[in-house]
Amino acid sequence: MEQTLYEKVGGEEAVSKVVDYFYDELVLKDESVNHFFEHTDMEKQKSHQTKFISFALGGPKQYSGKSMAKAHEGLNLQPEHFNSIATHLHDALAHFGVPEADIQTALSKVATLKDDILYK
């Protein structure tokens, strides 16, 4: 039986480390996107993101937050913002040794959400 990408990266504990690095070392230091998180409870955000990414990687369905469209409503995110976040996710996964092919699989799943995130 083939492992899910979630299992390959090390499960929720590993995803949580990726999410911490993603926000603390990449997103929040990027002036092109960090302003979107100025008034965000980052512990809550990290928890939601860990559950969401876990689910996106084939892990258990734990994410029960707002829909992607609702969560991004009023932000008017543009393609360059989406691309910055996707690049940061790529770099965070790579930082923790996730193979490029697996990163591309994860990013292709995230890309399916683009229409629910942009221009809201």
Binding residue positions? 48, 72
Write the CB contacts of 119 (distance below 8 Å, at least 6 apart in sequence).
76, 77, 78
Q: Give yes or no for a contact between 96 and 51, defined as CB atoms under 8 angstroms apart.
A: no
| Binding residue positions for heme | 48, 72
* C-alpha atoms less than 13 angstroms from C-alpha of 16 in its C-beta half-sphere: 6
Cα Rg of the chain (Å, integer): 14
CA 29 – CA 120 distance, rounded (Å): 24
